[in-house]
Structure 1
């Protein structure tokens, strides 16, 4: 099973960083039909073929995910899209 592990710096206050992650998750959940929820400062998300989390820290985010067989072939594309969204929301 392929994996994604991306760390991204941000300069937002923690509550605003959590809000930005929530906004992105809502849009992606509508588009890709996945479930998500918070556990402290970690958002967990899941759908068939993807199981991951976004840990929100004081000055960075860490996105980790396990990709199933079908999505593992698209790992590079998925990582590129995640980095693009992180740059748009947190840079």
Structure 2
């Protein structure tokens, strides 16, 4: 079971959602030093990320973005703060691109 689960519904379509997800992942990469791989699919993209103490993935579809992450021992006590910060950045990007609808 993931320590962090963030899911947002949106009405951006896959192309715009892909742009938002990439921008969001670049911010998270800078903030937390994550390395990620991004694989585009026809109806769903998947970004997998990791660094010491954090592993997870982001799924992007035409109407939903979902992040799941597992935190190691050192990060586990900061899970709520990490989730709050990541959620805020995602909501800001979705708001600029079509408006978030919380899941």
Same fold (TM over 0.5): yes
How much does 1:58 deviate? 1.7
How much does 1:65 deviate? 0.3
For 1:38, the equivalent position in structure 2 comes to: 38
Note the residue ranges of structure 1 that are not aligned, 5 or more in a row.
none
Paired with 1:78 and 1:30, the residues of 2 have a C-alpha distance of: 14
TM-score, scaled to structure 1 = 0.88
Note the residue ranges of structure 2 that are not aligned, 5 or more in a row.
none
Paired with 2:83 and 2:75, the residues of 1 have a C-alpha distance of: 11
For 2:14, the equivalent position in structure 1 comes to: 14
TM-score, scaled to structure 2 = 0.79
How much does 1:27 deviate? 2.8
Offset from partner CA, 1:38-67 (integer Å, 9 cap, x none): 133011111111001110012111110000
Paired with 1:74 and 1:8, the residues of 2 have a C-alpha distance of: 22
For 2:68, the equivalent position in structure 1 comes to: 64
For the aligned residue pairs, the C-alpha RMSD in angstroms reads 1.6
